[in-house]
Structures are given as C-alpha cells and as structure tokens.
Amino acid sequence: MTDTIILLGRSLKHIARSPDTIITTAVMPIAMMLLFVFVFGGAIETGAGTGDYVDYLLPGILLITIASGITYTAYRLFQDLQGGIFERFQSMPIARSAVLWAHVLTSVVANLISLVVVILVALLLGFRTGAGVPEWLAVAGILILFTLALTWVAVVPGLTAKTVDGASAFAYPIIFLPFVSSAFVPTATMPGPVRAFAENQPATAIVDTVRDLFAGRPAGDGIWPALGWCAVIMVVAYVFATVTYRRRIQ
C-alpha cells in the first residue's frame, strides 16, 4: 500500500505538470455532445427538446470520456517501459504490483476529473437530474468500476505495444462501442442483428443503468448486468495484465 501511494504521487505529479492530457480527454466527448445536441438532437426521437436529449445522451458521453481517457494509461506505461524506469523500480525494494496499481489509480483520478468537466458542460446545455445523493453515489461507483475495468484492459497494450501509436490504437473499438448501444438512440429503432448485439453488450447495460439513476428511477434488476459486465471485464483484464507484466519484466 505504501509503495502504491508513493508511486501514485509520482504519476499524479506528471498529470499536474501536463494538464493538457485531461483537457484533451474531455474535449472530444464535449465536442461530440455539442454535435449530437445541436445538430442531430432535433431529428432523434427520444424526447421533446434539447434538454431532454442531453439527459438521454449524457450517460453514453460519459462512457466515451472514460474510453478516451484510458489511452493515456497505455501511453504512460509505454513511456515508462521505453525510458527504463521499470528496470529501476525492479532494482528497488518495492512491491512489483505497486507499479501497475499506481498507473491504474492515476487513470481513475484523471478520468474522474474529466467526467466532472463533462457533467458541468452538460449542465450548461440543460442537463437536469432527479437523482439524490444515493443515486449519485451509485453512478459514481459504476463509472469508477468501469474505469478500473477498462484501465486494466489498457495495461496490456501499454506493456506489449512496439510503438506509441500501437499503445493507444486499442481504444478505438472501445470508443466506438457506445455508438452501437442505447447511448444515442433506443435499440428498438435498430435492425434485428444490430439490435441483438446492442442489447447484449456492456455499454447498453451501463448506459441504461446510469440513465435510470440520473432520472431518479429505480435501476431495478438492470443494475446487475451492468455490474456483472464491469466485474468480468476487470477480472479478465487484470489476469492478462499481471501475466503480461510478469513476462515483460523479468
């Protein structure tokens, strides 16, 4: 724990010295939110008015924000490997796991900041919520769990990529996933095969749950698939990441 906290402080200092990474992470989802609200929103049948579509859209935008942010985890891991810092840490009397956990927790902190920025912009665009404190805590918990899951996914290309572009390219399919979900339009409007995929993939389960919580509605049984997807992704990615780390750092 002590080693992880110390290395987390090191990573957070890097973030503080280059806040453009957080800004860059938030800019694309914000631009996408503006595009959908003011350009496409009037043609999408999910509610009457701009404010209603922001309410519908925001959960998907938050997932895209997280998917964009985790690319920097892979980038920072790749830079540390290329710079030889992992070999330095290996020669020191510290826990090996602390190095990876520091990067993962840094991703959680940076992504939370980006998510807050995106939510503040959504409020300016008319986002309103009937959620109370318990619902907000539930939303935060799901988003943190989703961030942890995707960050462990990002660790694998960060450790195995040969180039910087290769370390970050893995995120493109993940960013695209919310587009084939209930994030922007109801799945009922989709053709059969696309609808079947959309209704049985993690983004839809998480988006629907977060949307219900923001609306102040009971999440009901829908919260369990969302939590289940996050847990499964995190466990599988964690196993692959730790095995890859042990093989990469002998």
- Above 70 in pLDDT, residue 42? no
- pLDDT for residue 101: 87
- Say what the alpha-carbon torsion angle 128, 131, 135, 139 is, to the nearest 10 degrees: 0
- What are the tens digits of pLDDT across the range 142-152? 999 999 999 99
Give residue 79's pLDDT band: very low, low, confident or very high (50, 70, 90): confident
Contacts of 127 (CB under 8 A, 6+ apart): 51, 54, 55, 58, 119
CA 96 – CA 184 distance, rounded (Å)? 42
Q: Which two tokens stand for residue 226?
A: 């969302």
Task: Tell me which of 94 and 38 has the higher pLDDT.
Answer: 38
Q: How large is the average pLDDT for residues 24-31? A: 82
pLDDT band at 53 (very low <50, low <70, confident <90, very high): confident
- Give the Cβ contact number of residue 143 at 10 Å: 22
Alpha-carbon span 36 to 63, nearest angstrom: 15
Q: Which of the four pLDDT bands, split at 50, 70 and 90, describes residue 3?
A: confident
> How high is the pLDDT of residue 116?
93
Q: Tokens standing for 204? A: 């839809």
The region that residue 126 occupies, defined by phi over 0 for left and psi between -120 and 50 for alpha, beta otherwise, is left
Q: Which of 129, 107, 116 is nearest to 52 (CA)?
A: 129
Task: Report the alpha-carbon angle 227-228-231, nearest 5.
Answer: 85
- Give CA 139 to chain center in angstroms: 13
- CA-nearest of 67, 66, 56, 57 to 32 is 57
Indicate the pTM of the whole model: 0.87
Helix (H) and strand (E) counts in the chain: 12, 0
Distance CA 145, CA 140 (A): 8
Rounded to whole angstroms, what are the CA distances from 106 to 7, 15, 31, 243? 10, 8, 24, 21
Give the best-scoring range by mean pLDDT among 16-25, 135-144, 214-223: 135-144
Write out pLDDT tens, residues 166-212: 777 777 888 888 999 988 888 888 888 999 999 999 999 999 999 99
